[in-house]
Amino acid sequence: MKARAAAAAAALAVVFKTAIASVAKQSKKVYNVLVMGDMGKPYDVLILGGGPAGLSAAIYAARAGLSVLVIERGAFGGTVFQTSEIENYPGGVYGESGREFSSRLSAQADSFGVEKASGAAEKVHMEGKEKKVEAGGNTYSGRSIILATGSIPAKLGVPGEEEYLGRGVSYCAVCDGPFFSGLDVFVVGGGDSALEESMHLAGFARHVTIIHRRDAFRAAKQIVDHTRKKDNISFMLDTVVTGIGGGDLLTRIETENVKTGEKNVIRANDGENFGFFIFAGMNPVTDLFEGIDMKDGYIVTDERMRTNAAGVFAAGDVRFKTLRQIVTAAADGAIAAIEAEKYLIKGE
Ligand X SMILES: Cc1cc2nc3c(=O)[nH]c(=O)nc-3n(C[C@H](O)[C@H](O)[C@H](O)COP(=O)(O)OP(=O)(O)OC[C@H]3O[C@@H](n4cnc5c(N)ncnc54)[C@H](O)[C@@H]3O)c2cc1C
Active site residues: 172, 175-176
Q: Convert residues 51-70 into a mask of x (bound to ligand X by CB under 6 A) and - (unbound).
A: xxxx----------------
In the sheet that 263-267 helps form, which strands lie side by side, from edge to edge? Answer: 239-246, 250-257, 263-267
- Rounded least distance, CB 271 to ligand X, Å: 25
Out of 17, 42, 43, 49, the only residue in the binding site for ligand X (CB under 6 A) is 49
* Angle at 266 (CA atoms; ends 262, 269), nearest 5 degrees: 160
Q: Is residue 142 within the footprint of ligand X (CB under 6 A)?
A: no
The answer to whether the beta carbons of residues 256 and 158 sit under 8 Å apart is no
- Rounded least distance, CB 38 to ligand X, Å: 22
Q: Considering only 14-22, 262-270, 326-334, 338-346, which stretch makes contact with ligand X by CB under 6 A?
A: 326-334
Give start and end residues of each alpha helix (H) in the chain.
2-26, 52-63, 98-111, 173-176, 192-201, 221-229, 326-346
Q: Is residue 74 within the footprint of ligand X (CB under 6 A)?
A: yes
Between strands 138-142 and 131-135, the pairing is: antiparallel
Nearest to ligand X of 20, 152 (CB atom): 152
* Angle at 102 (CA atoms; ends 57, 298), nearest 5 degrees: 50
Out of 113, 211, 316, 334, the only residue in the binding site for ligand X (CB under 6 A) is 316
Provide the CB-side half-sphere exposure for 285 (13 A, CA).
Answer: 22
Out of 326, 334, 335, 340, the only residue in the binding site for ligand X (CB under 6 A) is 326
Q: Which of 154, 158, 163 is nearest to 250 (CA)?
A: 163
- Rounded least distance, CB 124 to ligand X, Å: 8
Out of 21, 64, 66, 86, the only residue in the binding site for ligand X (CB under 6 A) is 86
Nearest to ligand X of 258, 280 (CB atom): 280
Instruction: Give the 3-state secondary structure percentages of the chain, helix then strand then coil, rounded to 5.
Output: 30, 25, 40
Which is it for the CA torsion 100, 102, 108, 110, positive or negative?
negative
Nearest to ligand X of 164, 343 (CB atom): 164
Nearest to ligand X of 145, 236 (CB atom): 145
Q: Considering only 6-14, 230-238, 259-267, 323-331, which stretch makes contact with ligand X by CB under 6 A?
A: 323-331
Nearest to ligand X of 54, 246 (CB atom): 54
The answer to whether the beta carbons of residues 296 and 127 sit under 8 Å apart is no
The answer to whether the beta carbons of residues 307 and 334 sit under 8 Å apart is no
Q: Convert residues 94-133 into a mask of x (bound to ligand X by CB under 6 A) and - (unbound).
A: --------------------------xx------------
Quote the CA–CA distance of 191 and 200 in Å, as a whole number.
15
Which residues, numbered 143-182, are part of the site for ligand X (CB under 6 A)? 148-150, 153, 171-172, 175
Contact positions vs ligand X (CB under 6 A): 48-54, 71-74, 78-80, 82-83, 86, 88-89, 120-121, 148-150, 153, 171-172, 175, 285, 288, 316-318, 324-327, 329
